[in-house]
Structure 1
Amino acid sequence: MSIGITDEQVELADSLRKWAASLSPVEAVRAAEGDVAADFAAVRAAADEMGIAAIAVPESAGGGGGTVLDQAVALEACARELVPGGLLGSAIGALLTGRPGRYGVQVHPGGVVWDGGAADEQLLLDAGEVTPEPGVDLSARHARVAGVAGVAAGGEDLRRRLLAVTLAAAEAAGVTRWCLEAAVDYAKVREQFGQKIGAFQAIKHLCAQMLETAEAVTAAAWDAAAAADADDVEQWAFAVDVAQVTCFDGAVEVAKSCIQVLGGIGFTYEHDAHLYLRRALTLRALVGSADAAAERVTAAAVTGVRRRVEVDLEGRDEAVRPGARATAERIAGLAAAEQRSALVDAGYLTPHWPAPYGLGADPTTQIVIDQELARAGVVRPDLVIAGWAVPTILAHGTDAQRERFVRPSLLGELTWCQLFSEPGSGSDLASLRTRAVKVDGGWSLTGQKVWTSVAERADWGICLARTDADVPQHKGITYFLVDMRSAGIEVRPLREITGEALFNEVFLDEVFVPDECVVAEPGDGWRLARTTLANERVAMASARLTKSVERAVEIAAARDLGPVEHVEVGRQVALATVCALLGVRTTLRALGGHGPGAESSVAKLLGVRSRQDSSELVVRLQGDDLALLGALGKESDDPLAADVWEQLNTRCLSIAGGTTQILRNVAGERILGLPR
C-alpha cells in the first residue's frame, strides 16, 4: 500500500507512477553512469513541467498548493520508479524557500549537499564552493562543500532537518515497495526443484518479513509527513525521529532481501535491484544515525512525549457527537456496578454489532463513541472469549440462540472459553480429532482440547468437533456451544513457564450437546470458525505505549543508563509507535469507506515482536538482580518479579492465535499471492 490513504492521494500516486514509468527513468540512470556532470535534463524538464517538487508550495508562488503529505506521496511514487534528477533536494528546497526551483540542500553542517550536483540554487549551511562528486546512488548527483563550517540559525536548522528526513523517508518507502514487489513477482514465476520458489516456506517467510518491514516503513513515513502539516513541532520532531529509526534501515534490509529472493540474477549489474539498494544505502547515509534518532526518542519519551495522531472527521461527527456525549456523561454518573448494563442498553459496549445488541454503528460513530466514553472516564469491560463467540452466534445462530446467549454475555453473566486447539492440531484446526456422534436429540462429543484459557470457570465453550470423517477435512467440522458443567467434562490446569496455571486441558467423554446448541448446520464449523461481522470494530490507537515499553521508559527516567541502553529503549518506543500507527491507518481507511489494507494483517506480527522484545529489554535493563529473584507474579510488589513474569508470559504471544510462522505463511499466500 502507498503512503497515501485518501482516494485523492491514492489516485495521485497511481497517476505519478504511470507518468514516471513513461519517462524510462532506469534507462536514463544507466545511460548517465560514470558521468558526474549528467543532470538528467529530459527527466528534470518533465518533472518541472509537472511541478512534482513544488506540490506543497502555495499556488500564489507557482506551486501546487498541496500539503507536505501530498508531496511525500509524490516522492514515494517517483522513487518506486527510480526517477533521477534531484526531486528530493528540490522538494526540500521548495518548502524551505516557499518557491519552486532546482535546489541542492545541505542538511547537516559539514555534510553532503543533497542533490547539489543537479541544482541551480544551493541552500548551504557552510560557506564554500559546491563540487559534484560521484556517489553510490547512480540516480542522484550529490555534492560536497569545500570551505569553513558556518553557523546557521537553530530554528532553521531544525526545520531543515525535519523536512529533509520527512521527505527522504517517503523516498525510502518508495524504494521499499519496489523491492517487495520485485521479489514477490519473481517468487511467483521462478521455478526450482519442480515448483515455484514462492511455495517454499523459507522464501514465503522472507517475503512476509519484507511485507512487515515495508508496512512499518510506510506507516512511519506517512506519519512524519502528516505531522509536518500539523502545528506542533514537538509532535513532528517525535514522528520524524521514529521515521529515522524505522525507515532507512528498513529500506536497506528489504532491498537486500529482494536480492536474496532474486538469487543470482539479483546479483547481476543488469538487474535493477542493485540500483534500489544503492538508493536505500545513500538515503540512510544522508539522514544520519538511526541510533542518534533513537536516543532523541528516548529523551522525548522520558519527558512525557507520546505520538498523538489527530483525525479530522471532516464534520461527519457533528450530527452524532452531542448525543454520544450526553449518553457517555449519563453512564459516567452511574455507580460502577451499574455502568456495564447501561453500556449494553445504550449499545455502547459493542456499537459495531447490529441492533438490538449494538448500534450497527459506522466507523465515524464508533470513533465518536470511543472519544466521548474516554472523555467521560468510562472504561468498557473486556468481553474476552465472548468477543469471539458472540459475533458467530449473531451472524450464524438462530433467534433462540441469540436470545439465550448474547445479552447475558454482554452483561458478564456468562463466561466463555474456546475449545479449538488440540494436542495434535495446534494451528492446524482442520486436522482436529475430537469427534461428535449423532445421538437422539443431539450429539455426543469425545476428545481432548488444550491451551484453553478460563475453562476452569467458564459457563460455556465454543467447540469445534468432527462430525463427518468421510469428507475433506475442512468440510467435516461442526461448531458447537458446550455447557461447561455438562457431565463428561474434566478440566485439568496446565502450569505454564510463569509458574501459574492460566491454560487448561479439557477432556470430553461422551459429552451430550443438544441439537439447539449447534450453530448453523453440521459441517459449517470451519467457515464459522473464521467468521467476523461485516461491520468490523473501528478504534483509534491510544497515545500510551504498550505496558513494557512504558516500563522501559520509566526505567530510563529513573536510572543512569548508558547510551547503548538509551538507543535500545528508543528503538522499542519507535516500534510500539509504528504498531499503533498501523491501527490508525486501518481506521482511516475505514472512515474513507475502504476495507483494511495489508497493515492490519501484519499488525499482529509486529505487535508480538514489540511486546516480546520490550519485555525482554525491561528485564535486561535491571542487571544481574534477576539471578537472585524469588517468586514471580504479575501483581508482585517487587517490580522486577512482575517484569520477569511479563517477559516469560509474552513468549505465548508468538504461539497463541496462530504461530508467527503460520501467520507468515498466511500473509505470503493471501496478501502477497504466493503459491501454496
Structure 2
Amino acid sequence: MPIGISDDHAELAATVRKWAESHGAIDAVRAAETDPRSLADWGPRAAEMGLTAIALPEAVGGGGGTLLDQAVALEAAAYALVPGALLSTVVAGLVHDDADVRAGIASGEVTVGLAAAGALRADGQRASGEVAAVLDAPIATHVSMPLDTDEGSATVLVPTDRLEIQPGPSIDLSRTVGRVTVADLSLDEATVSTSDARRLFLTLAAAEASGIARWCLDTAVEYAKVREQFGQRIGAFQAVKHLCAEMLETSESVTAAAWDAAVAHDDDPEQAGFAVEVAATVCFDGAVEVAKTCIQVLGGIGFTFEHDAHLYLRRATALRALVGDPGTYAAALARRAATGVRRTGRIDFGGQDEEYREHARREAGHIAELPADRRRAALAETGLLAPHWPAPYGLGAGPVQQLVIDQELAAAGVERPDLVIGAWAAPTILEHGSEEQRERFLAPTLRGEVTWCQLFSEPGAGSDLASLRTRAERVDGGWRLTGQKVWTSVAERADWGICLARTDPDAKPHAGITYFVVDMSSPGIDIRPLRELTGDALFNEVFLDGVFVPDELVVGEVHGGWRLARTTLANERVAMAGSRLGDSVELAVSLLDEPRLGPSAPEKIGRAIALAQVVKLLGTRSTLRSIAGQGPGAESSVAKLVGVRSRQDSAELAMELLGDEILTGSDRAARAADLFLRNRCLSIAGGTTQILRNVAGERILGLPRG
C-alpha cells in the first residue's frame, strides 16, 4: 500500500504516475545518459503539473497542501522515475521563506540544486567554500547549500550565475550532480534560512525511497507471475515466493516510516525528530535492498541495460549516498530514545468521534469509580469490554467508536481484561453458534467466570488443521472424541476447550471436520504439562480417550468445522499501538550508557528501535484504513512477520549487550535470557514464518501456488 491512505491521496498518486508515463519519464532518463542537460526541461514541466508547489502557500502560487500531500506526490513521481530537479526544488521551496523564490518555484522559473552534505563557511557577511556533490546543480537556476556561521548552522540559496559548477558523473542517470565552488559570496545577495533543511530533505527523500521500493516490488511480482521455468511459473517456487514476500515486508516498512515522517512534520521537534530518524534508519537501506532483490527475481533480464530495474537501483543507491550513512541516524535515534522520547500516535477523526465521545467518557468514568473487583462485570454489562461484538454482548461498534472507547478507558485509568483464548472461542460461538450456546457461554466469558483453551494442534499436524487425526464417532445423544492435542495453553485450568475433530474420515482433508465445545472436566481427558525451553510449562499435551460431547455442544454444522476455524468477525477489533517499544527494545535502550559497550552499540540499538517503531506504524496504518472505511491492506499481515523479527532480534541484542553479565544471574540478565528463549516460539506459533511468507506471497501478492 502506498503512503497515501485516503481516496484523495490515491487519486493524486494515480494522476502523477499517469502524467509521468504520458510524458515519457523513463525515455528521458535513458536519453540523459548521453545528454544530462536535457533533464533541465523536467523542472518547469513538473512545476506546470503543480508538483513543485503542492505544500507552498497559495499566496505564492502554491497548493496550500500539507507535507503529507507533497510526500504522496513525490512517492508517485519516484515510482515513475520522474527525472530532474524535482526533489531538490521542492525541499528548497519549503526551506527558504522567500516569496519571490517560492513564486518562481511554483511557476517553473526557479529550479534548485541541493547539497545534502558539506557546507560553506561564513565569515561575517561573506561566504566561501566548496561542496563536492550538489544534487542537480548543473541544470538548476539556484543552489541550496548548508552554511556554517558563528551563530550556528543555516542554509543559503544562491543563483547559479554566482557559482562555479563543475558537472560530474552520477550513478543515477535520472539526475545530475556537480561540484560547487564559492569564491566570495555576499550573504546580503543570497537567501539565508535557519529552518531545518536536513529534516525536510530526509522526510521527502524517504517518500522517494518508498516509491522506488514499491516499483521494484510490483515489477518483481508481475514477472514472477508470468515467467516460466522448469514447466511452471517461477512465482510458484518457494524460494522466489519468499524473496517477493521479504520485498513486501521491506517495502511496507519503508512506506510506513516515510508516511510517519511526513505526518510528524508539524509535531513538536522531539516527535518529528524521532519519526525522521526512524525513516532515515529504515527507508534508504530498505529501498536499496528491494531494488537489488528485484533484479535477483528478474534474473538475467534484470541484469540487462534494456530493463528499467537498474535505473531504480541506481536511484536508490544515489539517494542513500546523498542522505549519508543510515547508521548515524540509528545512533542518534538511540540517544534520543534514551532521554525518554517515544513516538506517540494521534488520530484525526475528522469529527467522526463526536457522537461517541460523551457517552464513552461518562461510562468510563462510572466504571473507574467502582472497586477493582467489580470493574470487569461493569465493562461486560455496558458492552465496553468487547465493543465490536453485536448487542447484547457488545455495542456493534465500528472502528471509530472502538478507538474512542479505548481512549476514554485509558484516560479514566480503566484496564480492559484480556479474554485470552476466549477472544477466539467466543466470536466463533457468537457468529456460528446456537442461541442457547450464546446465552450459555458469552456473558460468562466476558465476566471472566469461565476460562478457555484451544484444542486444534496435533503432534503430526501442527498448524496444518487439514491433517488432524483426532476422530469423533457418532453415539446416542452426541459424539465420542479420541485423539491427542498438543501446544495447548492453560488446559490445566481451563473450564472449556474448543476442539476440532474429524467426523468423516473419508472426506477430503479440509472437509469432514467438526467444531466442538469440550467440557475440560469430562472423563477421558488426560492433561500432561509440556516443559518449554524456558524451563516453564505453559503448554500441555491433552489426550482424549472417548470423551463424550453432547450434540448441543457442536458449533455450527457437522462437517463444517474448517470454515469455523477460520472465522473472524466481519466487524473486527481495532486498536492503536501504545508508545512503548517492547520489553527487549526497552531493555536494550536502558543499556545504552553502559561503559563497556562497543562503538557499534548505539547504531544496533537504534536499528532495533526503528524496527519496533515500524511494527507499530504498520498497525496504526491498518487502523486508519479501517477508520476510512477501506478494506484491509497488507500492513496487518506484514506486521506479524516484521514483528516477529523485531522481537526476536531485539531479545538477542539485549543478550549481546549484556555480555558475560548473562552468566551472573542478575535481575536484568534473567529478564533478558527469558525474553531471548521465550521469543523463539514467535516464528513458530500461529504458523511458521516460512509458511506465513508463502501465504503473503499467494494471498497478498497473488503469486501462484506451488
What TM-score range do you get, normalising by the shorter chain? over 0.9
Q: Residue type matched to 2:45 in 1?
A: A
Which stretches in structure 2 are left out of the alignment for 5+ residues?
120-130, 148-157
Q: Which residue of 2 aligns with 1:139?
A: 174
Per-residue CA deviations over 1:552-593 (Å, capped at 9, x if unaligned) read 111224555333111111111111111101111011111111
Q: Which residue of 1 aligns with 2:402?
A: 366
Is the contact between residue 220 and residue 578 of structure 1 (CA under 8 Å) also seen in structure 2?
A: yes
576-585 vs 45-54, which moves further: 45-54
How far apart, CA to CA, are the structure 2 residues paired with 1:108 and 1:330? 57
Per-residue CA deviations over 1:195-236 (Å, capped at 9, x if unaligned) read 1100000100110000000100000000001111x2412211
Cα distance change of structure 1 residues 151 and 377 upon mapping to structure 2, 3 Å threshold = farther
1:109 maps onto 2:118 in alignment: yes
How far apart, CA to CA, are the structure 1 residues paired with 2:585 and 2:262? 24
Q: Residue type matched to 1:135 in 2?
A: S
Flag the structure with higher strand content: 2
Look up the SS of the partner of 1:622 in the other structure: helix
Q: Which residue of 2 aligns with 1:129?
A: 164
Matches within 5 A, 1:627-666: 627-629=663-665, 638-666=667-695
Q: Residue type matched to 1:673 in 2?
A: G
Is the contact between residue 663 and residue 669 of structure 2 (CA under 8 Å) also seen in structure 1?
A: no
Is the contact between residue 103 and residue 116 of structure 1 (CA under 8 Å) also seen in structure 2?
A: yes
Q: Which residue of 1 aligns with 2:481?
A: 445
Q: Which residue of 1 aligns with 2:443?
A: 407
Q: How much has 1:534 moved relative to structure 2?
A: 0.7
Q: How much has 1:618 moved relative to structure 2?
A: 1.0
Q: Residue type matched to 2:63 in 1?
A: G
Cα distance change of structure 1 residues 282 and 354 upon mapping to structure 2, 3 Å threshold = same
2:255 to 208, 212, 218: 218
Q: Which residue of 2 aligns with 1:74?
A: 73
Q: Which residue of 2 aligns with 1:31?
A: 31
1:571 maps onto 2:607 in alignment: yes
Is the contact between residue 427 and residue 662 of structure 1 (CA under 8 Å) also seen in structure 2?
A: no
Look up the SS of the partner of 1:320 in the other structure: helix
Root-mean-square deviation over aligned CA pairs: 1.8
230-239 vs 407-416, which moves further: 230-239
1:191 maps onto 2:224 in alignment: no
Is the contact between residue 217 and residue 290 of structure 2 (CA under 8 Å) also seen in structure 1?
A: yes
Q: How much has 1:125 moved relative to structure 2?
A: 2.5
How far apart, CA to CA, are the structure 2 residues paired with 1:665 and 1:533? 24
Look up the SS of the partner of 2:5 in the other structure: coil
Is the contact between residue 209 and residue 316 of structure 2 (CA under 8 Å) also seen in structure 1?
A: yes
Per-residue CA deviations over 1:100-146 (Å, capped at 9, x if unaligned) read 23111223224522222221111123695233322000001122223
Cα distance change of structure 1 residues 148 and 164 upon mapping to structure 2, 3 Å threshold = farther
Per-residue CA deviations over 1:485-541 (Å, capped at 9, x if unaligned) read 111111111111001111111111111111111110012111111110011111111
Q: How much has 1:158 moved relative to structure 2?
A: 6.2
Per-residue CA deviations over 1:304-329 (Å, capped at 9, x if unaligned) read 11111221111222222122111111
2:358 to 322, 347, 355: 322
1:538 maps onto 2:605 in alignment: no
1:254 maps onto 2:290 in alignment: yes
Is the contact between residue 548 and residue 611 of structure 1 (CA under 8 Å) also seen in structure 2?
A: yes
1:331 maps onto 2:367 in alignment: yes
| Identical positions, percent | 63
Matches within 5 A, 1:28-67: 28-41=28-41, 43-67=42-66
Q: Residue type matched to 2:138 in 1?
A: G
Look up the SS of the partner of 1:55 in the other structure: coil
Look up the SS of the partner of 1:321 in the other structure: helix
Cα distance change of structure 1 residues 289 and 156 upon mapping to structure 2, 3 Å threshold = farther
1:551 to 587, 592, 595: 587
Matches within 5 A, 1:257-272: 257-272=293-308
Q: How much has 1:96 moved relative to structure 2?
A: 1.4
Q: Which residue of 2 aligns with 1:617?
A: 653
How far apart, CA to CA, are the structure 1 residues paired with 2:694 and 2:261? 31
How far apart, CA to CA, are the structure 2 residues paired with 1:597 and 1:624? 44
Q: How much has 1:147 moved relative to structure 2?
A: 4.5
Q: How much has 1:289 moved relative to structure 2?
A: 1.2
Look up the SS of the partner of 1:621 in the other structure: helix
How far apart, CA to CA, are the structure 1 residues paired with 2:137 and 2:409? 53
How far apart, CA to CA, are the structure 2 residues paired with 1:44 and 1:122? 14
Is the contact between residue 425 and residue 432 of structure 1 (CA under 8 Å) also seen in structure 2?
A: yes
Which stretches in structure 1 are left out of the alignment for 5+ residues?
630-636
Q: Residue type matched to 1:666 in 2?
A: V
393-402 vs 322-331, which moves further: 322-331
Q: Residue type matched to 1:140 in 2?
A: R
Q: Residue type matched to 1:590 in 2?
A: S
Is the contact between residue 40 and residue 140 of structure 2 (CA under 8 Å) also seen in structure 1?
A: no
How far apart, CA to CA, are the structure 1 residues paired with 2:447 and 2:48? 63
Look up the SS of the partner of 1:352 in the other structure: coil
Q: Which residue of 2 aligns with 1:524?
A: 560
557-566 vs 156-165, which moves further: 557-566
Cα distance change of structure 1 residues 591 and 116 upon mapping to structure 2, 3 Å threshold = same
Q: How much has 1:49 moved relative to structure 2?
A: 0.9
How far apart, CA to CA, are the structure 2 residues paired with 1:448 and 1:117? 73
Look up the SS of the partner of 1:509 in the other structure: strand
Q: Which residue of 1 aligns with 2:11?
A: 11
How far apart, CA to CA, are the structure 1 residues paired with 2:144 and 2:356? 49
Q: Residue type matched to 1:293 in 2?
A: Y
Q: Which residue of 2 aligns with 1:504?
A: 540
Q: Residue type matched to 1:94 in 2?
A: G
Look up the SS of the partner of 1:418 in the other structure: strand
| TM-score under structure 2 length normalisation | 0.92
Look up the SS of the partner of 2:355 in the other structure: coil
1:350 to 381, 386, 398: 386
Cα distance change of structure 1 residues 373 and 558 upon mapping to structure 2, 3 Å threshold = farther
Is the contact between residue 242 and residue 694 of structure 2 (CA under 8 Å) also seen in structure 1?
A: yes
313-322 vs 268-277, which moves further: 313-322
Runs of 4+ in 1 over 6 A off after TM superposition: 148-153
Is the contact between residue 586 and residue 600 of structure 1 (CA under 8 Å) also seen in structure 2?
A: yes
Give the number of equivalent residue pairs: 666
Is the contact between residue 459 and residue 483 of structure 1 (CA under 8 Å) also seen in structure 2?
A: yes
How far apart, CA to CA, are the structure 1 residues paired with 2:565 and 2:317? 45
Is the contact between residue 125 and residue 151 of structure 1 (CA under 8 Å) also seen in structure 2?
A: no
Q: How much has 1:35 moved relative to structure 2?
A: 2.5
Look up the SS of the partner of 1:409 in the other structure: helix
How far apart, CA to CA, are the structure 2 residues paired with 1:662 and 1:300? 37
| TM-score under structure 1 length normalisation | 0.96
Matches within 5 A, 1:175-190: 175-190=212-227
Per-residue CA deviations over 1:458-503 (Å, capped at 9, x if unaligned) read 1111111111122211111111111111111111111110011111
How far apart, CA to CA, are the structure 2 residues paired with 1:518 and 1:187? 44
362-371 vs 310-319, which moves further: 310-319
543-552 vs 138-147, which moves further: 138-147
Q: Residue type matched to 1:142 in 2?
A: V
Q: Residue type matched to 1:65 in 2?
A: G
Look up the SS of the partner of 1:505 in the other structure: strand
How far apart, CA to CA, are the structure 2 residues paired with 1:214 and 1:106? 27
